[in-house]
Amino acid sequence: MKKIILLALAALPVVVFAQDNKYDIQGKIGDFNAPAKVYLEYRFPKGKPIYDSCTVVNGKFHFAGSVGAAPLNAYLLFNSKGTGTGKADGYRAIYLEPGLINVNAADKIENATVDGPKTNQENEKYQLAQKPVNDAYNALEERQKAATAEQKASPEYLKKEKADEKAIDELSAATDKKFIRENPNSIISLNALESLAYSTDYADLKPLYDVLTPAVKSTDAGKALGERMPKLKAVALGAVAPEFAEADTSGKVINLSSFRGQYVLIDFWASWCGPCRRENPNVVKAYNHYKGQKFTILGVSLDKPNAKDKWLAAIHKDGLTWTHVSDLKFWDSKAAGLYAVRGIPQNFLLDPNGKIIAKNLRGDDLEDKLAEIFGKI
């Protein structure tokens, strides 16, 4: 399956075209029987996730209902032991929309073919376009599993692995862009564009948004992305980073502009964010190498209200010895909203004049960028 960058994501707006729509899912997965179950998960606009389940009989399962607004992003999760979604054997993304949706899998739910109304057909077209990307990711994972510990420690192996991952990421982005340009009236294109918003700069993102049809832009998700575009422009490469001020761990208000004269990494994270915590060792390593230069970090936490103790504990446990600020407002963080942050970890590297010169430097990318600026240390 297509590689997903590990991020903690804010709940995104749900695509809405119409009202009072009835869906009918007719499914088949191998020859499984009870206790095997298939679970359906989806979310109404601004609502909590909704779950339904169906026991598999002779491989067959069935769901029917009214989504009220369509199409809705949904997931079918298969559990051969029927023990819930948390221990699912796999999943398949579909769209709930009016009409009959046929789902057929010979074995694994993730390999299922889906035939249905317009949006599901477009999603199948998208999945087919992304197949070379998914195959490349799967092949890379197999090579990683087969590599010995000695090979994995080799600089040559690490260099090639990084180059391979970058090439696949670039292929994935190019495939998404091509699909959007060729399918401007598809909700799938809007979803693809939303996924590109994390890793694609405004200069490349805006032309893709512009090709979408008015019908797609007028959906809730389309409107939300349209409202974010000016914010994405404000934090584009080459722009002067928007000013903000938040309280540090002792309650002192820190202004971003107080770091002028230094290269500063604005690092959005949170104590509850698993991907952030796993990325922190890379950030610590880069900081320790270059803190003697004109480089520092400003950590901006999206920790939850009344969770200051968890925020402070994570700073201490992960050894994050730079300046930290937070308004403890979770996804309502003022700074995160200003920087159009919808997923963490996310970062912005500023030059001494406050200009954004790089974004989302993860793994060794941050240290490589700093070496480019200051030289190898």
User: Poorest-confidence range of 63-72, 88-97, 224-233?
Assistant: 63-72
Lowest mean pLDDT among 160-169, 207-216, 259-268: 160-169
Q: What is the pLDDT of residue 11?
A: 53
* Class of domain 22-114 (CATH, top level): mainly beta
Is pLDDT of 72 > 70? Answer: yes
pLDDT in tens, 84-131: 998 899 999 999 999 999 999 999 999 999 999 999 999 999 999 999
| CATH top-level class of 239-374 | alpha beta
The whole-angstrom separation of Cα 152 and Cα 326 is 38
Q: What is the pLDDT confidence band of residue 67, given thresholds at 50, 70 and 90? A: confident
Mean pLDDT of 275-289: 96
Q: Which residue has the higher pLDDT, 45 or 125?
A: 125
pLDDT for 147-179, tens place per residue?
999 998 898 998 898 889 989 999 999 999 999
Residue 33 has pLDDT above 80, yes or no: yes
Confidence of residue 32 (pLDDT cuts 50, 70, 90): very high
What's the average model confidence in pLDDT over 15-23?
Answer: 61
The pLDDT of residue 2 is: 47
Residue 351 or residue 73, greater confidence: 351
* Residue 10 pLDDT level (bands cut at 50, 70, 90): low
Q: Would you say residue 245 has pLDDT above 70?
A: yes
| Amino acid identity for residue 191 in this structure | N
Can you give the residue ranges of every domain in the chain?
22-114, 121-235, 239-374
Q: Is the pLDDT of residue 12 over 70?
A: no
Provide the percentage of residues in the chain whose pLDDT is more than 90: 81
Is it true that 22-114 and 239-374 share their CATH fold?
no
pLDDT above 70 (res 81):
yes
**pLDDT at residue 70 greater than cutoff 90:** no
Q: Work out the pLDDT band at 3, boundaries 50, 70, 90.
A: very low
Is it the case that residue 377 has pLDDT exceeding 90? no
The overall average pLDDT reported for the chain is 92
Nearest to 282 by CA among 105, 200, 148, 162: 162
